[in-house]
Copies of this chain bind each other. A is one copy, B any other.
Amino acid sequence: MTSGKARSAANPRKRLAILGSTGSIGRQTLEVARAFPSRLKVEALAGGENKELLLEQLAEFRPALVASLVPLGEGELAHPCLWLSLEEMTTHPDVDLVVVATAGKAGLAPTLAALRAGKEVALANKEVLVMAGEIVMAQAQAQDVTIRPIDSEHSALWQCLEGQRGEVARLILTASGGALRDLSPEQMEEVTPAQALRHPTWSMGRKVTIDSATLMNKGMELIEAHWLFGVPLERIGVVLHPQSMVHSMVEFADGSILAQMSPPDMRLPIQYALSYPERWENPSLPRLPDQATLDFRPVPPGRYPCLELAREAALLGGTCPAVLCAADEVAVERFLAGGLAFTDIPQLIAAALGRHRRVGHPSLKQILAADAWSRRQAQAWSPRGDS
C-alpha cells in the first residue's frame, strides 16, 4: 500500500501535485482546488515559463513542494518550501494525486514515475498515451491504478462506461470540426494562423486549437481512447458535433448509446478526475440550458487528412504515433510562425511517417529517439519537396 492510497482519516483532503500549473489546464485545476478547500490540498506545484503567474500561485496556495522551469530567487517566495525535480515531486510521500497538465513529451517521465509510485494520476497531457500508451498502461495495470482522463472526450467516455457491465460496441468521439469547418478546400490553403486560432466553442492553448482545426487532436484522442479503455481502433469513430455539448458517446452491443453532456468548460472534467467516484456540487460551473439544438454529422471523407494520418499511425503502432506527435508539433509551430501553409501540416506529417523505420513495442528510449528523429525531419521538410 502506498502513502497515496493510505491517506488517513485525520487528513481527508486529497493532496495534489499539479504539473504545468501555469498552463490552461493547470490554472483551471487550481480554480477547482480553490472551490473545494476542505476536499483538495495543493501540496505541490510545478510551473512552466510564466514566472510571474507561478509566483502568484505559490503565494496563494503555499504548496510545500515546488518545481519550476525558470529559476526563482530565495527572496521571491513568501513561504518556506522544498525544491524538487518533477520526478521527486510526483513520487513524494505527501502527494496522493498527480495532475499531469504539461504539454508535449514533458509529461511522459513524470507520469511513469507517478504510476510506479502507485499515485493516482489525472492526465491532461495527450502525448503521454499517444507516444507511449503501451508502456504507460502496463505500468498503470501493474500498480492497479485507474488513469483519470481530463480531456473532455475521454472524461465523457469514462463517465458513460462507469459501472456498465454490458458489452461495448463502439466509442464515438465528438469533434466540433474546429475553426475552419465551414471553409471550402480552396479557402483552406489560404488560412492564416489568426483564422485557425478562432475556435468556435472551446477556449484553449494555441497548439491544441490548431490541432482542433486539423482534427489532429481527434486523431490523438482516438489513440488515447484505445489505450485508456482497451477498445480496438476499428471500433472507435468520430462524429462532427458543432455545439460541443455532447463530449462523447458509447454505443453498447444492443445499439443503445450513452452520451455525456455539459457546456464546454474544462473545469467539469478536471473536477470529475479529482472527485471520482464522487461528484461535487460546484455553483461556479455552468449548466446546460433547457433550450438547445444538438447537431451530429459524419466527418466528410478527405476533408481532415490529419485525422486519417493519426488513424494510420495508430494502426501501424510501435514508434509511429510518436513520430506523428513530434511532426505535428513542429508543423504547427512552423504554421503559427508563418512559415507553412495550413494545408502543409498533413503533408509534412505524412512525409515524416513515410520515411520512418518503425520499431515495434518500443522502449521509452526508442520512443524518445523516434521523437527526436521526427523533429529533425519536420524541421528540414519543405513544401517544395527539396529537403
B-contacting residues of A (Cβ < 8 Å)? 159-160, 162-167, 169, 239, 246, 249, 251-262, 268, 271-272, 275, 277-282, 285-288, 290-298
Contact = CB atoms under 8 A, between A and B. Distances in A.
Contact of A278 (B167, B278, B295): B167
Contacts of A255: 262, 268, 282, 285-288
Nearest to A281: B253
Contacts of A253: 279-281
A260 B250 CA distance: 10
Contacts of A261: 249, 256-259
Contact of A294 (B280, B285, B294, B298): B294
A128 to B, nearest CB: 24
A246 to B, nearest CB: 8
A97 to B, nearest CB: 17
B292 A296 contact: yes
Given A293-B294, A294-B293, A256 B268 contact: yes
Contacts of A286: 255
A246, A261, A262, A292: residue with the most chain B Cβ atoms closer than 10 Å: A261
A43 to B, nearest CB: 23
B277 A166 contact: yes
Nearest to A256: B262
A257, A262, A295: residue with the most chain B Cβ atoms closer than 10 Å: A257
Contact of A258 (B159, B252, B268, B290): B159
A300 to B, nearest CB: 11
A262, A271, A275: residue with the most chain B Cβ atoms closer than 10 Å: A262
